[in-house]
Amino acid sequence: MNTKIHHIVLYLGIILTLSGHIDHKKYPAVAIHNYDTIDKKVDSLINLMTLEEKVGQMNLYNGFWDVTGPAPKEGSAKTKYDHLRKGWVGGMLNVRGVENVRKLQKIAVEETRLGIPLIIGFDVIHGYKTISPIPLAEAASWDLKAIEKSARNAASEASAAGINWTFAPMVDISREPRWGRVMEGAGEDPYLGSKIAKARVHGFQGDDLKKKNTIAACAKHFAAYGFTEAGREYNTVDIGTSTLFNTILPPFKAASESGVKTFMNSFNDLNGIPVSASKYLQRDILKTKWGFEGFVVSDWASLKEIINWGHAKNKKEAAKIASSAGSDMDMEGSVYIQELVNLVKESVIEEHIINDAAKRILKVKFELGLFDDPYKYCNTKNEKEIIGRQTHLDDALDMAKKSIVLLKNETNILPLKKEGQKIALIGPLAAEKNSPLGSWRTASDDNTAVSVLEGMNAYSGNAVHYSKGMDLIIGETSFIKEVKINTTNRDGIKEAIETAKNVDVVVMVLGEHGFQSGESRSRTHLDLPGLQQELLEAVYKVNKNIVLVLNNGRPLAIEWASQNIPSIVVGWQLGSQTGNAIAQVLYGDYNPSGKLPMTFPRNVGQIPIYYNHKNTGRPKNTENNVFWSHYIDQDNSPLYPFGFGLSYTKFIYKNLTIEDSNFSINDTVKVSVEISNIGDYDGKEVVQLYIRDLVGSVVRPVRELKGFELVMLNKGETKIVEFLLTKEELGFYDNNGDFIIEAGDFEVYVGGDSDAKLKNQFNLK
Ligand code: BGC
């Protein structure tokens, strides 16, 4: 805006103030409250803003450098404070706590020319202070209501700490257990992933963003980050359109349809274009095709990284490419704030790009109610009362129990007896109070989880014989904790052997520390880290009655254990209530019902391994054929398939019925199945329905999850479960990204995992 117009606008502002149109109490400098819709308010505000102020909205600064602690001191962050006062900052991340947020918000609202409030973002990934299971573990519950509640509670706590925007949910589908961030998503399946994306978005945002305990969510990382080559963090992604449309995009689309307010782009490229520079993803698909009206934030400095990728020669070019592509807000890259104003002045980019981005950001701020009350999240009473509430801890326990997956219980060692059984507890993670919190838990206090040792002792009156077996080695870099599990010292193994010799059952807690998965924690080996395998085998030599409780942020390759250890429980990182949840399951007060949201491979060489793969032109057909799609040194089958998980009871499935055998493509196909609990315990089963579209213009997977139901069955009880298949379930995306449905034969499988054998079929005309 030139100076003349600027003066006119200010003059108008003064006139409006004098004529009573501006409400100083609500809003310091602009007459926006008189308009009846948010869009009109945004338009009126944008007309009052200078180019610099509009670009300022597109600038997101980190509050401090170590991702913990208070807002930056003025001296150490001079530029940021200067920019804040000029109205050149749209939001801050990693500032938390009512006092800190209020301090910054006050500058934005009271010291800047237009008084536009800040949006305050934080990674509220699986809890704020009260920590729920890691998202991958929650996905194993398949319990959408519980998952939604977990996000709800996280939003309540975060909002009470001044935060109004979470960088969650991560909805990246991934078939890559080497990639450390699988812990943050919902696993490998787009159908389950889409349902969970919706549940999480609704959990964070609720029905009304203006409420004080709801916050804006962010679907991340858009897109294809989960397909990072070889599972190496921040690596390249080169995939085809079928995978993009049918596997990667559905959960993002689901998030957009459920009204998620923001998207975050990602660190990877997609077929040669860094995604923060991808017009195809951001403008063409997200904003145009899907009609997304919120804003897209970059990932941390990912706009600057367009230069490292070799797609822009300098910041100026990166800013031009990214803004034109539809990245609206620059997280801690300073690319926009340094370059965009000049780019517009030099007519390299048109101002409408800036207007569009700034409007999208302002709109979300209006929707959050920040213009009505910029301090709505800054209430110290709420901060004290809501954060860490007992009801949140109770819900975290419920969620943790639901997330546990029983992989094996061959000799029925489980459930343990509450009396009359001598039990040893062994392993470097057994007494851990920090690891169960995972790696995304900045706002929680260290060492606050209930350890497995504590949880079990609460049952057995401190009678559990504990031996650590080996140490954790914990180092620390700038903000990432680096954990190794002992790789050299075997001293503790001897003691563990002695402990194991004299007991009836040994519970071994082994696997990954919480800081061994998460961002920038890719692995090339998926076995038990350090000397844990040696410990396991040494104990097995003296006592075979072992219950292996895995701690893991990803699928692990535990082939030896699955062949030798009679009982295996997937215990993930289950958050604040870990020990209580594990103990309740081990002692049988909670019958496990979790199902794997990701395939467990036999070894790393099988990766990527996932249930919804294609048939290939050479599937196994005859016994003697050598030239089929396989390995000569390992089965194609996984160690444990997607959807797998046992119960203490036993379920059988019968009578898979389809209402008819011929349907037209507009019909709804009704499928039903009978399920009975024929075991000795009441229990819950996740009944899963898979389809196979036998012939497609784009090759269809051998199975695709298209329905699931959580069913509670008492001992001896039988229930009928019904599924409805509509176009939405039976169609797919062609290679232009258009959703189509094709006539032909379909197979239907129903059962307790993706390997379900019960089958029926129908035809679509
Ligand atoms: C991560 C994002 C996260 C952001 C802010 C990045 O390194 O990739 O998922 O939201 O940091 O903490």
**Tens-place pLDDT, residues 7-51:** 333 334 433 433 334 344 445 455 566 788 999 999 999 999 999
Contact 597, 136 (CB under 8 A): yes
Q: For atom 7 of ligand 1, which residue has the closest CA?
A: 300
Measure Cα distances from 579 to 213, 407, 463, 558, 586 in Å: 29, 19, 15, 22, 10
Instruction: Concatenate the DSSP letters of all residues of 419-460 into one string.
Output: SS--EEEESTTTT-SSGGG-S--TTSPTT-SPPHHHHHHHHH
CA of 582 to the centre of ligand 1 (A): 30
User: Identity (one letter) of the amino acid at 60?
Assistant: L
Which of 481, 514, 570, 571 has its CA nearest to residue 127?
A: 514
Q: For atom 12 of ligand 1, which residue has the closest CA?
A: 123
- Alpha-carbon gap, residue 86 to 92, rounded angstroms: 15
Atom of ligand 1 nearest to the CA of 121: 5
pLDDT at 13: 40
Measure Cα distances from 19 to 15, 16, 24, 72, 628 in Å: 6, 5, 12, 40, 82
Cβ–ligand 1 contact at 167 (below 6 Å):
yes
CA of 222 to the centre of ligand 1 (A): 12
Query: Which residue from 167, 174, 330 has its CB within 8 A of the most atoms of ligand 1, so it is best to mutate?
Result: 167
Cβ–ligand 1 contact at 184 (below 6 Å):
no
Measure Cα distances from 92 to 101, 108, 332, 388 in Å: 9, 11, 9, 24
Q: How many CA atoms lie within 13 A of 475 on its CB side?
A: 5
pLDDT at 482: 76
Residue 384 burial (CB < 10 Å; 0-12/13-18/19+)? Answer: exposed
User: Identity (one letter) of the amino acid at 229?
Assistant: E
Query: Which residue from 300, 329, 332, 522 has its CB within 8 A of the most atoms of ligand 1, so it is best to mutate?
Result: 300
Residues 465-523 pLDDT 10s: 999 999 888 776 545 677 888 888 899 999 999 999 999 999 999 999 999 999 999 99
Task: Give me the phi and psi of 471, to 5 degrees please.
Answer: -95, 160
Cβ–ligand 1 contact at 220 (below 6 Å):
yes
Which of 272, 296, 406, 414 has its CA nearest to residue 356?
A: 296
Q: Is 484 helix (H, G, I), strand (E, B) or coil?
A: strand
23 noted as active-site residue: no
Cβ–ligand 1 contact at 690 (below 6 Å):
no
pLDDT at 412: 87
Q: Which residues contact 753 (CB under 8 A, 6 or more apart)?
A: 595, 596, 641, 642, 643, 644, 645, 688
Q: Which residues contact 40 (CB under 8 A, 6 or more apart)?
A: none
**Residues in the chain where the model's pLDDT stays below 50:** 1-26, 28, 65-70, 478
- Alpha-carbon gap, residue 270 to 275, rounded angstroms: 6
Neighbours of 694 (CB within 10 A): 14
CA of 203 to the centre of ligand 1 (A): 20
Cβ–ligand 1 contact at 172 (below 6 Å):
no
pLDDT at 71: 54
CA of 390 to the centre of ligand 1 (A): 29
- Alpha-carbon gap, residue 661 to 764, rounded angstroms: 9
Say how many residues make up the chain: 765
Query: Which residue from 299, 517, 522 has its CB within 8 A of the most atoms of ligand 1, so it is best to mutate?
Result: 299
DSSP 319: H
CA of 299 to the centre of ligand 1 (A): 6
Q: Is 296 helix (H, G, I), strand (E, B) or coil?
A: strand
pLDDT at 64: 58
3-state DSSP helix/strand/coil % of the chain, to nearest 5: 35, 20, 45
Cβ–ligand 1 contact at 225 (below 6 Å):
no
- Alpha-carbon gap, residue 145 to 153, rounded angstroms: 12
Cβ–ligand 1 contact at 300 (below 6 Å):
yes
Cβ–ligand 1 contact at 432 (below 6 Å):
no
Contact 689, 748 (CB under 8 A): yes
Instruction: Concatenate the DSSP letters of all residues of 544-605 into one string.
Output: --EEEEEE-SS----HHHHHH-SEEEE----GGGHHHHHHHHHTTSS------SSPBPSSGG
Cβ–ligand 1 contact at 590 (below 6 Å):
no
Which of 642, 754, 721 has its CA nearest to residue 405?
A: 642
Q: Which residues pair with 401 in a beta bridge?
A: none
CA of 302 to the centre of ligand 1 (A): 10
Cβ–ligand 1 contact at 299 (below 6 Å):
yes
Among 172, 189, 299, 356, the active-site one is 299
Cβ–ligand 1 contact at 54 (below 6 Å):
no
Q: For atom 11 of ligand 1, which residue has the closest CA?
A: 300
Q: For atom 2 of ligand 1, which residue has the closest CA?
A: 299
CA of 383 to the centre of ligand 1 (A): 25
pLDDT at 561: 98
Task: Give me the phi and psi of 284, to 5 degrees please.
Answer: -70, -50
Contact 277, 312 (CB under 8 A): yes
Beta strand pairing status for 739-740 and 732-733? antiparallel
Q: For atom 5 of ligand 1, which residue has the closest CA?
A: 300
The H or E element spanning position 9 is helix 3-18
Atom of ligand 1 nearest to the CA of 220: 9
Q: Which residues pair with 685 in a beta bridge?
A: 711
CA of 300 to the centre of ligand 1 (A): 6
Cβ–ligand 1 contact at 123 (below 6 Å):
yes
Task: Give me the phi and psi of 537, to 5 degrees please.
Answer: -70, -35
Neighbours of 449 (CB within 10 A): 30
Atom of ligand 1 nearest to the CA of 168: 10
Atom of ligand 1 nearest to the CA of 267: 8
